[in-house]
């Protein structure tokens, strides 16, 4: 479990540099969050400014991300933007300040997320000195998108966010376990983990609660000694382990 430093409100200091393109229009259409079984392009509906975000109809296990959607979620920076905008709408200037990015670079990532329906633009508001600014909010749609798990984006986001967690936080937990389970038990383990995460994801959010974050990865143990598959020949496994 990881304390979520990205959930705290970022400082709003700093101003966009000259030549920064304008934000995507909040009047633009956004993809409907209703997934389609074949991964077809979703239908579109007009954006309802500042209204509640509709919960995606995930069908069975979500939807297959298109190439554009998968590329959008393959970036650690874009995943961090979605996390920052999860609890409250933030402008491009605020997102750039929170991630220490040039505003033009941040806007490129914002536009990519808006175009793929993972981020939505709300009604403009007046920022500092009366400037017109557009706040953005995460739609929650990324949770239901099935993307290649070999993407480094999620790992990059995790490492960057963990680096911001104060070193004196004694309540942060981290576990590394080497599993040696037969296929049926491994599938049981995977299923129970998934069910537990889905259960807590479905619970009502408490805006007053301290934000926390969870990163979970179940993967083949590439550090283990090579074991020949049945019928492949070679030496018998010696059963040695580093203890997990």
- What is the structure's pLDDT at 150? 65
Task: Give the range of the structural domain holding residue 17, as residue numbers without chain letter.
Answer: 2-162
Residue 23's Cβ-count burial label (10 Å; 0-12, 13-18, 19+) is buried
Band of residue 117 on the pLDDT scale cut at 50, 70, 90: very high
In a domain, 177, yes or no: no
Is 89 among the domain residues?
A: yes
26 and 114 both lie in a single domain: yes
Q: 74 and 188, same structural domain?
A: no
Same domain for 43 and 109? yes
In a domain, 200, yes or no: yes
Tell whether 57 and 142 lie within a shared domain: yes
Does the pLDDT at position 183 exceed 60? Answer: yes
Give the SS3 label for residue 76: helix
Top-confidence residue, 125 or 29? 125
Close Cβ partners of 83 (under 8 Å, ≥ 6 residues apart):
4, 6, 7, 138, 157, 161, 213
H or E element: which one contains 24?
A: none
- Per-residue pLDDT at 160 exceeds 60: yes
Q: What is the pLDDT of residue 148?
A: 82
Identify whether residues 188 and 125 lie together within a single domain.
no
């Amino acid at each position: 479990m990881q304390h979520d430093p990205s959930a705290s409100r970022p400082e709003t200091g700093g101003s966009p540099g000259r030549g920064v393109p304008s934000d995507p229009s909040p009047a633009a259409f956004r993809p409907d969050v209703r997934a389609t079984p074949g991964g077809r392009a979703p239908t579109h509906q007009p954006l309802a400014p500042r209204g509640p975000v509709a919960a995606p109809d995930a069908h069975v296990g979500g939807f297959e991300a298109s190439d554009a959607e998968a590329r959008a979620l393959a970036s650690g920076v874009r995943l961090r933007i979605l996390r920052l905008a999860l609890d409250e709408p933030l402008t491009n200037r605020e997102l750039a300040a929170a991630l220490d990015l040039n505003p033009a670079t941040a806007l490129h990532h914002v536009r990519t997320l808006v175009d793929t329906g993972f981020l939505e633009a709300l009604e403009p508001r007046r920022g500092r000195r009366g400037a017109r600014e557009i706040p953005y909010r995460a739609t929650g749609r990324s949770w239901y998108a099935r993307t290649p798990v070999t993407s480094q984006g999620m790992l990059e986001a995790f490492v960057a966010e963990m680096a911001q967690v104060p070193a004196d936080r004694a309540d942060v937990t981290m576990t590394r376990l080497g599993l040696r389970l037969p296929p049926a038990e491994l599938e049981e383990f995977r299923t129970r983990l998934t069910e537990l995460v889905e259960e807590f994801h479905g619970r009502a959010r408490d805006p007053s609660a301290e934000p926390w974050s969870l990163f979970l990865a179940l993967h083949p143990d590439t550090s283990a000694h090579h074991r020949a598959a049945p019928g492949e020949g070679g030496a018998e496994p010696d059963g040695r382990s580093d203890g997990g």
